[in-house]
Amino acid sequence: MKRVTFRSKPWWSELLSVLRKAYNSALRSSKRDRFDASLLAAARAARSAYFKAIKKAKRAHWSSFLASATPQTVWTAKRFAVGRPPPRFPDLPGASTPPELNRALLDHFFPGEPAGFTDTILLPFRECIPLAPDEISRALARSSPLSAPGPDAIPNSVWKRVHRVAPHIIHDLLAPLVTYGSHPLTLKRADGIVLDKPGKPAYDSPSSFRVIVLLQTFSKILERIMNSRLSGVARATALLNPHQCGSLAGLSASDAVTTLTHEVKTLQMAGRKVSTLFLDIKGGFRQCQPLHPLRHA
């Protein structure tokens, strides 16, 4: 049995409890004497008042939720309003079996054969900064416990608990990789999940779908550490544009929108005409050669 909490019906109120009791009482009275028209009318009136109050409470709660929406909850409001569309299965011409569908989607999302890998002898970097335990802690702090794991099937919550109980385990595993500048192929394996794009007129083409890649959580820890180091070097050496906001700590899409709005208003106040050009470059990534483990993961 599911236990009812305040999250089950956040719009519920004491008035609804009173109306529900009155409706149930009137309903029981009408059932005891089915030939009494007054009791039947009273039960109908109590039922109408009860369900009208429920609709009014839901409407008031929804209005209050929208009025107090934040940038973090606005997408939740959108999901509640629009609803989740049913998932669509690919119906590709000439692909009737799962292996054929798999091959057709792979050829679309990852065209071309990946380049081969050659074995090399790794040497330690003398100028490499030793891995510090606080770097691992910061990387794990930015990891969501709800993020879906990859082929390793180990969620971030497990690594957080391991680091909290025995911090040396993750440090001893990652320190040699940082020192030698190596990212093993075993950590590059990933699971590809194909999702349908909403609003498409037909789903008989691979372009009506998109693929998301679920990387191994342990590999993400190493990538976050190196990303933090490279971001610091890029900022210190002025390799980034001053207006760069993506993939930088402390900056987000909101900062990019604010910067664009500021630039537009500044030029408009000077009496100039302003136009903005947005480029969609996601199609260019299809020409990139994927890693060998990703293609066969």
Whether pLDDT at 272 is above 70: yes
Q: Are residues 219 and 108 in the same domain?
A: yes
Rounded mean pLDDT, 100-107? 86
Whether pLDDT at 287 is above 50: no
Asked whether residue 221 is domain-assigned, the answer is yes
Q: Are 179 and 125 in contact (CB under 8 A)?
A: yes
Per residue in 109-119, pLDDT (tens digit) is 877 765 655 66
The domain of 28 spans 14-82
Neighbours of 258 (CB within 10 A): 12
- How high is the pLDDT of residue 290? 41
Domain end, chosen from 29, 57, 82, is at 82
Asked whether residue 114 is domain-assigned, the answer is yes
Q: Are residues 178 and 234 in the same domain?
A: yes
- How high is the pLDDT of residue 16? 92
Domain count for the chain: 2
Q: Are 111 and 285 in contact (CB under 8 A)?
A: no
Whether pLDDT at 25 is above 90: yes
* Separation between Cα atoms, residue 198 and residue 193, nearest integer Å: 16
Mean per-residue pLDDT of the chain: 84
Asked whether residue 204 is domain-assigned, the answer is yes
Asked whether residue 122 is domain-assigned, the answer is yes
Q: Are residues 143 and 237 in the same domain?
A: yes
Rounded mean pLDDT, 179-188? 88
Q: Are residues 160 and 215 in the same domain?
A: yes
- How high is the pLDDT of residue 159? 94
Domain end, chosen from 82, 110, 132, is at 82
Asked whether residue 216 is domain-assigned, the answer is yes
Specify the pTM: 0.59
Asked whether residue 197 is domain-assigned, the answer is yes
State the maximum Cα–Cα separation within the chain, in Å, rounded to a whole number. Answer: 96
The residues, any chain, with a CB within 8 Å of residue 111's CB and separated by 6 or more, are 286, 287
Q: Are 43 and 23 in contact (CB under 8 A)?
A: yes
Asked whether residue 284 is domain-assigned, the answer is no
* Separation between Cα atoms, residue 109 and residue 286, nearest integer Å: 6
Asked whether residue 285 is domain-assigned, the answer is no
